[in-house]
Structure 1
């Protein structure tokens, strides 16, 4: 009898060990599955955000296009000084459309910071674009200082200062994009 108890005890220990190992594997598998589900939810959320952003951009462009096509509609959302001629204010709306476009393609990761900076450097060669930037200063002042849009605005302010201070006609080499 004693021998049987020892054998049974050994089998019992082996079975208990197998159960513990199985439970450990099962727990690890559940954790991996939970982590995979969490990653998928995160990917789904990112895709939804991108889809929503793309929709918002299309709507923004549609509204701006209507305002550009119909001066009476441009008056509805015209935040610029009324002392500026209507034609120039419409040009500002168009400049803003380009600026917002550049902001969004950068935020979507379609252009790098250096590519964004190069495009802005080119756009700010236009006197009208520069005038738009100055006329919209009050709008940028209301942005949350930590927002991506405010950071881009500060980057552009620095670029404009660099362009103004440059003593070269080679505008395409003026300034260095900040690293932040």
Structure 2
């Protein structure tokens, strides 16, 4: 009988030790889980801050772009630096192209910083490209866009090219209904 008692005590001691060890493991896992949750929350905040910083950087770059274009629009001698067209342009036409570039770049920036969806970008572009000067600018800069392959800007440029084709082929004067806006995913 004494042997059973000793064996039972050993079993209880082993069980208690095992339960203590399991409780310790559970406590360690819970502590690690809390640490992991805190790390994940911190990473999410950092990602949000990085996104905000990227949008702020794009807005600053857009502002600088406009300042440079404004100087070129106001000063024909500075505009010569940006004359990268195959055909010679009059001063007036060059200024118009610079302004068309500013309009398109502004639209592009609004999309990039998240102020416009791709569908909204399309709809604004559809209106902007009703202007023949903007269309001339777009055609004159076709070779410039050739180097953008594989970028979001190239995709949006192709979207504009497709839209212009559809507008040219449209059987209606109601330009605002031409083309299917892309759906945002």
**TM norm structure 2:** 0.87
Residue 155 (structure 1) aligned with residue 159 (structure 2) = yes
Q: Alignment partner for residue 175 of structure 2, among 150, 171, 175? A: 171
For structure 2, the residue ranges without an aligned partner over 5 or more in a row are none
In 2, distance between residues paired with 1:163 and 1:6?
Answer: 86
In 1, distance between residues paired with 2:35 and 2:18?
Answer: 25
**3-state SS in 1 of match to 2:25:** helix
Q: How far is the alpha carbon of 1:30 from its aligned partner? A: 2.0
Other-structure match for 1:79: 84
Kindly indicate whether the alpha-carbon contact (under 8 Å) linking 1:114 and 1:177 is maintained by their aligned counterparts in 2.
yes
Residue 32 (structure 1) aligned with residue 53 (structure 2) = no
Alignment root-mean-square deviation, CA: 2.0
**3-state SS in 2 of match to 1:161:** helix
Deviations 1:135-164 (A, max 9, x none): 1111011212x2111111111111111111
For structure 1, the residue ranges without an aligned partner over 5 or more in a row are none
In 1, distance between residues paired with 2:87 and 2:158?
Answer: 26
In 2, distance between residues paired with 1:160 and 1:10?
Answer: 78
Moved more, 39-48 or 128-137: 39-48
Listed as ranges, the matches of 1:112-151 within 5 Å are: 112-144=117-149, 146-151=150-155
Deviations 1:14-36 (A, max 9, x none): 32222111111112112212222
Deviations 1:52-96 (A, max 9, x none): 111111111111111112111111122224522121011001001
* Equivalent pairs, count: 179
In 2, distance between residues paired with 1:164 and 1:77?
Answer: 29
* Bigger Rg, structure 1 or 2: 2
In 1, distance between residues paired with 2:127 and 2:95?
Answer: 21
**TM norm structure 1:** 0.89
Moved more, 157-166 or 108-117: 108-117
Q: Which structure carries more relative contact order (alpha carbon 8 Å, separation 6+)?
A: 2
**3-state SS in 1 of match to 2:130:** coil
Q: How far is the alpha carbon of 1:97 from its aligned partner? A: 0.5
